[in-house]
Amino acid sequence: MCSLILLITSQNSPLSQAFTYHPSPTHKHITSPTYTSHRMTANVIDGKAIAATIRAELTNKLSSLPSDIKSRPGLAVMLVGSRKDSQTYVRMKQKACADCGMESFLEEYPNGEEVTEDTLLTKIQEWNQDDKVHGILVQLPLPKHISEEKILREVDPKKDVDGLHPANTAKLFSTSTHAGAVKLNWKDFTSIPFHIPCTPQGCIELLDRINDGKGIDIEGKNAVVVGRSNLVGMPVAMLLLHRNATITIVHSRTKNIESILQQADIVVAAVGRANMVQASWLKPGCIVIDVGINSVDAPDTKRGYKLVGDVNYAEAKEVCEWITPVPGGVGPMTIAMLLRNTVNSWERATGQKDQ
């Protein structure tokens, strides 16, 4: 059954010319198709370059501000605990702010096990009232004794540049199709009057900027999201839906993930399992956005480890038409979107943009 589906979809695919199908002459049932030579190598989606373009646009906007301006965009970041990966991400976010002419404020609690929820809530309340702070980001995960939900709920939704407050999530999960609903322009995220999580926003922005800036038409495509996290899987599925894709979310309890993925024109992998998605699960000619950043042992490298995605990149790039590398794909986009959300928030707070 799976082989049959693969055969049908590959005939319709832009890559169908590159594959030659050889059914076995001695068997009536197709078991597995074999492909001969000239496979096409995918176009690599250069997230680093696309993120640099967006950051340059923001830098440009801020550099033209009068030097005596009272308020520049400001991002406040809370880091609880001493996880090395979180420390690295927070450092990168702070540097990105400085590079594009924004203020950043860091509140660190290295003894994560000792900090109380009340201490964190008080700091957030302070930032909510602070006119210099336009964006608040609580780096996740938090230590186990702290309720993430309680902390994220405390952030003023207008300053919630991570898009994780329930008020922002609810708006993202509303289709606004009922009579009289305000129609939002999902093709311009900067026009959306609430905050959208950064990594999912970055995934869609990549789809919009590939192909020499022409992007690809998401409408009507089959999009399969692997993973159902609050940070990525669920919100990226909503964004794809708002762009009129037909969405499927697969997860740890899904049966036959492979056969579902074989129908996908767009795959977003956000499950956090190194090299999980195999090339044979992909429809030839599909687009792969790999959100995973997984560290695997690499004894022959200087650091002893390397970063890989959720998709088996080396094999997948022989099957799909577009693919993001890891690192250098989605990762840089997350920071670019965080900066953009903060600038949007600042523009709204200072009356430069409608609420």
Active site residues: 93, 139, 162
Q: Which stretch binds ligand GUN (CB under 6 A): 38-46, 137-145, 186-194, 302-310?
A: 137-145
My answer on whether omega of the bond before 141 falls inside 30° of 0, hence cis, is yes
Residues 53-92 that bind ligand GUN (CB under 6 A): none
Is 199 an interacting residue with respect to ligand GUN (CB under 6 A)?
yes
151 binds ligand GUN (CB under 6 A): no
Residue nearer to ligand GUN on the CB measure, 137 or 196: 137
Rounded to a whole number of angstroms, the minimum distance from the CB of residue 197 to ligand GUN is 7
Nearest approach, Cβ of residue 138 and ligand GUN (Å): 6
The conformational region for residue 293 under phi > 0 = left, psi -120 to 50 = alpha, else beta, is beta
Residue closer to ligand GUN by CB (options 140, 216) is 140
Task: Between 146 and 231, name the residue whose CB sits nearer to ligand GUN.
Answer: 231
CA–CA distance, 288 with 322 (Å, rounded to integer)? 6
Which residue, judged by CB position, is nearest to ligand GUN in the bound state?
140
**Interface region with ligand GUN, contact rule CB under 6 A, candidates 29-37, 134-142, 181-189, 263-271:** 134-142
Question: Which of 257, 269, 266 lies closest to 312, judged by CA?
Answer: 269
Spatial contact of 71 and 132, defined as CB atoms under 8 Å apart? yes
* Residue range at the interface with ligand GUN (CB under 6 A); choices 133-141, 201-209, 221-229, 278-286: 133-141
The helix/strand/coil state of 118 is helix
Q: Does 205 bind ligand GUN (CB under 6 A)?
A: no
Report the distance separating Cα 239 and Cα 185, nearest Å. Answer: 11
Helix (H, G, I), strand (E, B) or coil at 323: strand
> Residue from 6, 54, 79, 137 that binds ligand GUN (CB under 6 A)?
137
Gyration radius of the chain's alpha carbons: 22
Binders in 16-45 for ligand GUN, by CB under 6 A: none
With binding defined as CB under 6 A, does residue 138 bind ligand GUN? yes
Rounded to an integer, what distance in angstroms lies between the CA atom of residue 1 and that of residue 256? Answer: 11
Report how far residue 299's alpha carbon sits from residue 307's, in angstroms, rounded to the nearest whole number: 13
Stretch in the footprint of ligand GUN (CB under 6 A) among 132-140, 270-278, 311-319, 325-333: 132-140
Total residues found in the chain within this entry: 355
Cα 182 to the center of its chain, rounded Å: 26
Q: How far apart are CA 44 and CA 61, in angstroms?
A: 29
Which of positions 229-288 make contact with ligand GUN (CB under 6 A)? 231
The rounded distance, in Å, linking the Cα atoms of 286 and 284 is: 6
Residue of 198, 225, 250, 264 that binds ligand GUN (CB under 6 A)? 198
User: Do the Cβ atoms of 262 and 9 come closer than 8 Å?
Assistant: yes
Counting contacts by CB under 6 A, is residue 162 touching ligand GUN? yes
- Interface residues toward ligand GUN, by CB under 6 A: 137-140, 162, 198-199, 231, 334
